[in-house]
Amino acid sequence: MLAKIRIEGQFDSLSAELGSMQWKSWFVALMLASLVGKQSTSTDQQAMHFYADIGGDEPHVLMVAVLPDLGVLHLQSGEILGLESELIMAFAQKEGMVIEWVCVHSANAALKALRQGRVDVAIGGLPEQYLDGLARTSRIRTCAWHVASHADSVYILNNAPTYAGLWQQDSITILTHQTNMYRFSTDSLLMRPDFLINQPLDSLLLIGQGGISWYSSPSDSSLQQALTAYLSSPLARRNKAIFRHHGMGHGVDITGMDSLFHGHTIDPYTLMALAYTESRFNASIISSAGAVGLMQVLPNTAYRLGTDTSKLLNPLVNIEASLAYLKFLDRYWERFGVAKDERLPFVLASYNTGPTPVRRQALKAEKKGYLATVWKGHVDQFARGPGAFYQRRIMRRAKLYRSYAMVMKANLTAIKIGNR
């Protein structure tokens, strides 16, 4: 199937939230080269395509706005993967259409592109709501929203969260932190989802259930009807069942990896949080930006730090390369006078965006009378964007991992005492 990808906005690595993808204009050519088939005509030369235009010798182009993420749309070994992207590709193939992907940075951007008539369909973990001026398909997946409370913090769902990505499965539980959705390792790290749900830190309150849907323009009723019919068809149900059974929804067994995170200068739970955020513990993944392996290390960075780039798919080598970069960032912030016990948030934010944007935020804080060498209460008042969000997410996830490790250790101790 022919495919073309257009990038709107700037995407920084981490996430997955494509967990491990960087969407920037300079790698468009790389992405296009990795896709099967030829490029379609230039986006700038294309007028809006409508579903009703099908016919003639030229295949119809279906414009799809997507919020890319691991589980929605990501590239691996030159293939487009993800439950939603593969479902809509199967639909397009069935209808004799080709897809042009328009990658956007948020759910709002996807819906805006649809309202403006620049795309035919919006997908990518979009919440199931009734939105004025848009038509919604039948449900793709279900989800549950929770309020979580632990220690001195309470995080409450605020309107529609920014979906940085969801697991490839039909039913998911999402813990929300300040309007952002978080997921947890699913099988054998230090906790299990059922343990998380049944044994919360202080409280875990279900505040709503809903679903994930696709959206299209109500003016294109034939497309809406075709999408709805397809999603309720045996073919689509079978495809979703395959993902439930074989897809990433079952998580990754990383029992053998546990020892890799220990014995380093950096706290193992921080390293685990980094690995989960970057790759979901998938040591073989390569992002469209070229980031490799467990910690999503860029080969150029690894080479400059003395790592054999041909071995980056080896989890231990990948972690060592990541540690070398973290050490470089630690020295960078030490040169600017950041005390050792203050450096971690600076380092984590820099791991995502590079140190320069974070340094600019620190200088901005200093100009406003705050300390450029202290994150909490100072630089964090001015830190915006993906780097700041990234460090918050890593530190909170590491805190959860650490907390549950302590709880499970205490439970195991109690069991041993009880068995005496």
Report the Cα 351 to chain-centroid distance in Å.
Answer: 16
DSSP-assigned beta bridge partners for residue 212: 127, 141
- pLDDT tens-digit profile of 18-52? 333 333 332 333 333 333 333 333 322 232 333 33
Q: Which CATH code is given to the segment(s) 255-408?
A: 1.10.530.10
Per-residue pLDDT, averaged over 303-317, amounts to 91
Query: Around 13, how many Cα atoms within 13 Å sit in the side-chain half-sphere?
Result: 24
Pairing between strand 180-182 and 171-177? antiparallel
**In 3D, which of 234, 219, 227, 213 has the Cα closest to residue 116?**
219
Q: What distance in Å separates the CA atoms of residue 200 and residue 183, rounded to the nearest whole number?
A: 14
Task: Sort residue 39 into left (φ over 0), alpha (ψ -120 to 50) or beta.
Answer: beta
10 Å CB burial of residue 293 (0-12, 13-18, 19+) is buried
Q: Residue 146 is encoded by which pair of tokens?
A: 């929770």
Mean pLDDT of the chain: 68
Q: How far is CA 346 from CA 133, 349, 350, in A?
A: 43, 5, 6
What one-character-per-residue DSSP string does 286-310 give? B-TT--BTTTTB-HHHHHHTT--GG
Q: What percent of the chain has pLDDT over 90?
A: 22
Query: What is the model's pTM?
Result: 0.45
| Domain ranges (residues) in the chain | 3-134+218-245, 141-215, 255-408
Q: Residue 326 is encoded by which pair of tokens?
A: 């973290």
Task: Sort residue 14 into left (φ over 0), alpha (ψ -120 to 50) or beta.
Answer: left
Residue 390 has pLDDT above 60, yes or no: yes
10 Å CB burial of residue 381 (0-12, 13-18, 19+) is middle
Q: Which CATH code is given to the segment(s) 3-134+218-245?
A: 3.40.190.10
- pLDDT tens-digit profile of 66-95? 877 656 776 665 667 777 888 888 888 888
Q: Residue 370 is encoded by which pair of tokens?
A: 């705050």
pLDDT at 374: 96
Q: How confident is the model at residue 156 (pLDDT cuts 50, 70, 90)?
A: very low
Q: What distance in Å separates the CA atoms of residue 308 and residue 323, rounded to the nearest whole number?
A: 14
Q: Residue 29 is encoded by which pair of tokens?
A: 């050519």
Between 380 and 151, the more confident residue is 380
Helix ranges restricted to H, 28-81: 28-34
Is the C-alpha dihedral spanning 195, 198, 204, 206 positive or negative? Answer: positive
- 3-class DSSP assignment, residue 158: coil
Q: How confident is the model at residue 359 (pLDDT cuts 50, 70, 90)?
A: very high
